[in-house]
Amino acid sequence: MVNPDDADAAEAVFHTASPDATRALAETLGRLCVGGEVILLAGDLGAGKTCFVQGLARGLDIPAGKRVASPTFTLHGEYEGRLVLNHLDLYRLDDPAQLHGLGIDDFLADPGAVTAVEWPELLAETAGRERLDLRLEHVSESERRIGARASGRRHARLLREWAGGGAFSGPA
């Protein structure tokens, strides 16, 4: 659960019982974003990472017509709302050097953007300290457990606010 004593780190666990609930949970996170957030989404195929990013887009006021999908042939999708959402899916990435060709350093440093990364394992070192790591896991066909770990002061505060909103957090 959220540890209120450590300013530079925080943890929380959420549960959702449907894709819509995952989107709604992510939307509440999107509403709290102010730019510069880095959100890494780990989890198996079908865990709900893309579904989560769709909710995030809603929370950033990205028009519903610009539907967030897994970028199949590109590694990067960009959506404009209240803030820019950079959506990366690194499933097909085999060489971390490609990341720099994608302009990853610019996304991560952009104070007017939120960057959400599926399959972030190859990003570990590039992502830096200020970030929110999410791990989505299947509990059953329609339930997911979403473990969240924030590092860095800003992301820790973000996670505390998000988890403090309440409806989805529960015992691990």
Residue 45 interacts with ligand ADP (CB under 6 A): yes or no: yes
- Taking the least distance from each CB to ligand ADP, the nearer of 138 and 157 is 138
Neighbouring residues of 37: CB distance < 8 A, sequence distance ≥ 6: 114, 115, 132, 155, 158
Q: Where does this chain touch ligand ADP (CB under 6 A) — which range of 12-20, 122-130, 152-160, 162-170?
A: 12-20
Residue 87 interacts with ligand ADP (CB under 6 A): yes or no: no
Strands 9-16 and 113-118 come out as unpaired
Residue 115 interacts with ligand ADP (CB under 6 A): yes or no: no
User: Which region holds residue 151: left if phi is over 0, alpha if psi is between -120 and 50, else beta?
Assistant: beta
- State the nearest-atom distance from the C-beta of 41 to ligand ADP, in Å: 7
- State the nearest-atom distance from the C-beta of 129 to Mg ion, in Å: 25
Number of C-beta neighbours around residue 111 at 10 A:
8
Partner from Mg ion, ligand ADP, none binding residue 74, C-beta < 5-8 Å depending on class:
none
Neighbouring residues of 17: CB distance < 8 A, sequence distance ≥ 6: 142, 143
Residue 48 interacts with ligand ADP (CB under 6 A): yes or no: yes
Residue 22 interacts with ligand ADP (CB under 6 A): yes or no: yes
Strands 38-42 and 131-138 come out as parallel
- Taking the least distance from each CB to Mg ion, the nearer of 43 and 152 is 43
The Cα-based distances of 121 to 14, 59, 90, 112, 144 in angstroms read 21, 25, 8, 24, 20
Partner from ligand ADP, Mg ion, none binding residue 48, C-beta < 5-8 Å depending on class:
ligand ADP
**Interacting residues toward ligand ADP by CB under 6 A:** 16-19, 21-22, 43, 45-51, 118, 142-144
